[in-house]
Each structure stands twice: as structure tokens, then as C-alpha cells.
Structure 1
């Protein structure tokens, strides 16, 4: 586990608060692999682990001006722990929803309901995608519908791989919000 001297850690945090991208990148490269490993151990899914870690670093950057961090490592791993807990909660809710669907509908009705739900869900996802900025929509569709790699998308659109990851993460977050609001409405 990487340890920073308290002065170096505080210097990085101060620079981060001022919007220093190099300080942010230094923090990212210092902790991302360890966080990814820990997330993978907890979730057993590399894609989910990558998404959780990516969201932590996006949040770190977005909230950099307001954060009061005394111990950077403890903060990042604490954020990961909460992210994993929230992910597991969402899986539990999804499983409860699926169990409810199974118990509530007969087999024939369930097939029809599933088709309607699938259509509704597809519609909600498409609305979520359409609400995104144009570049983010393009990146998302290339990634999820055309199954292009981050590197291929970056090359094709002449943007960095980090930008591609950012667009994908933001689009997934927005689409999840649309889906969540849809099920709350039901």
C-alpha cells in the first residue's frame, strides 16, 4: 500500500483544491490500482470495480473545492467502501424487484410484462442517452452499442482515453438516474 508523507499528501490535496491537474493525476496513479484491486476483491467483477473506482476519482475532482480530507488514503478507501456498499444495495434492490415480479405475475403474464418492461426500459435508456451532450452520446453508443474499445474510440474521435472513460462514466451515471426515476415512478 502506497503511503505519502503527511506533508506531501497535504501538498497534493492543497494543489488539488486549486484545480492542479498534475496533483490529481499523481493521486490517481498513486491509488487507482490499489483501489481497483480492492474493489475487484469485493465485487468479483472487473467492469463494476473499474466503474466504482472511476466514479470515486470523478467525485474527487468534482468536489475538490469543498473536500476536507485529513488522510488521503483513508478517504479514498472509505469512499470505495461506501461505493461497494451502495452497489451491493442496488443489487439487493434489483433482486427484490425481480423476486417481486416472479411472485406477482403468472408465467404468461410475466412474459408479457417483461416485454413491456423491456420496451419501457429501452425507451428510458434512449431518453437518458438523448439527454446527454452530443459527444458523450457518441462515445456511449460507440462503446456500448458498437462494442469499440476505449482506445479505438479515443483514436476515432481524436480525444484522450481518459476523456472517453469520463464520457462513458458520466453517461452510465445519467442513464442509471433515468432508470431509477422510472422505477420510483412505478
Structure 2
């Protein structure tokens, strides 16, 4: 086992060396605590799971740059910022919905609604086309064909964790892509 380098958390120090077992150890040690805390703050199991999953994805992606002294403090701080960002995005979404309510005509006809739905579908397709092929495929199977992670895992011969990763990446990308489109409405 590596010794503490400048007081760094030994588990995170191992993680810097691309040690998958260290990553699993950190996940097993903190995931339930983080999930419980995220659920307490959001009251939404799906949102809590997504926030925690994004933290662990980010942890793995940035593992070589990290200088973590206290793993628990680091992860809970990351979760705190994720929760804040989640609520900020809800505020933007609510402002957009209020804007639409105020500026939408009082009577919406079916043709107008169909046009908006078609336009949104086109925007989603455009956003998806910017993603890697596997991520697109996983997203379509999950969200458009309503297959479970287990079914997708079996069909594509990838792990369920990989399925979760692809779904999270696509949702994150769609959120960013569509948010940019929404912001143009206010400019």
C-alpha cells in the first residue's frame, strides 16, 4: 500500500494510480452515505442517485489530478455543490416554464403543440447525434424503447454500470445542450 504523500488520503492516493480496486473501495465506503444525504436534501430518489453517480464518474475521470486529504469531506463537498447546481437548474427551468406560461397564447391549438413537440424532438436528436455511438444507443434503448438497464446490458454485452454511465453522460449532455437553447430565448 502507498504511504501518505503530504497527508493525502491513502485510498485516493491509490486511485491516482488508476487502481480500480481503490475506486471500488471508495465507492463501497461512501456511496450509501452520499445517497442517503442526497435523498435527504432532494427528496427524490432518482435525482439523488444521479447526483451521486455523477460524483463518482467525475471522481474516476479526474482521479489523476486529485489531491484529496480527507475523502469523506471531499465527496460530501462535491455532493453539496452538485445539489446546489441541481436546484439552480430547477430555478432556470421554473423561470422558463413561467416565461412560456406568460408568453404562450391562451388557447393552444393541436397544430402548435405538435410543432413544438416535433421541434423539441429534433433538438433532442440533434443533441444525441453529438454523443458517441454507444452512448446514443444506450440512451435510445433506455429512454425511447423503455428497456431496463439489465436488458440493455445483456443486449449490448456491457456491464450495468456501463449502461448507467452512458445514460448519465447522455442526460448530462442533453441538459447542457437544451439549457443553451433555452438561454437563447432570453437573449
TM-score (norm 1): 0.88
Map of 2:78 onto structure 1: 79
Q: Which is richer in helix?
A: 1
Number of residues of Structure 1 aligned to a counterpart in Structure 2? 181
Shift of 1:44: 1.3
Map of 2:140 onto structure 1: 141
Map of 2:89 onto structure 1: 90
Contact in 2 for aligned 1:129/1:137 (Cα 8 Å) = yes
Map of 1:55 onto structure 2: 54
Contact in 2 for aligned 1:130/1:137 (Cα 8 Å) = yes
Map of 1:24 onto structure 2: 23
Structure 1: gaps spanning 5 or more residues: 1-5
After TM superposition, the structure 1 = structure 2 runs for residues 109-128 of structure 1, keeping only pairs within 5 Å, are 115-128=114-127
Contact in 2 for aligned 1:101/1:110 (Cα 8 Å) = no
Q: Distance in 2 between matches of 1:112 and 1:75?
A: 51
Post-superposition CA distance 1:63-104 (Å, at most 9, x none)? 111122111101111111111111111111111111122122
**Match status 1:33 vs 2:32:** yes
Q: Distance in 2 between matches of 1:49 and 1:77?
A: 13
Q: Distance in 1 between matches of 2:133 and 2:142?
A: 14
Q: Distance in 1 between matches of 2:109 and 2:32?
A: 43
- Tell me how large the CA RMSD over aligned residues is: 2.1
Give 3-state SS (helix, strand or coil) of 1:60's partner: helix
TM-score (norm 2): 0.88
Contact in 2 for aligned 1:52/1:80 (Cα 8 Å) = yes
Q: Distance in 2 between matches of 1:113 and 1:82?
A: 39
Map of 2:98 onto structure 1: 99
Identify if the C-alpha distance between structure 1 residues 155 and 99 changes in structure 2 by more than 3 Å, giving closer, same or farther. Answer: same
Post-superposition CA distance 1:31-79 (Å, at most 9, x none)? 1111111111111111111110110001111111112211110111111
Post-superposition CA distance 1:107-142 (Å, at most 9, x none)? 125977655443332211111112211111111111
Q: Distance in 2 between matches of 1:125 and 1:73?
A: 37
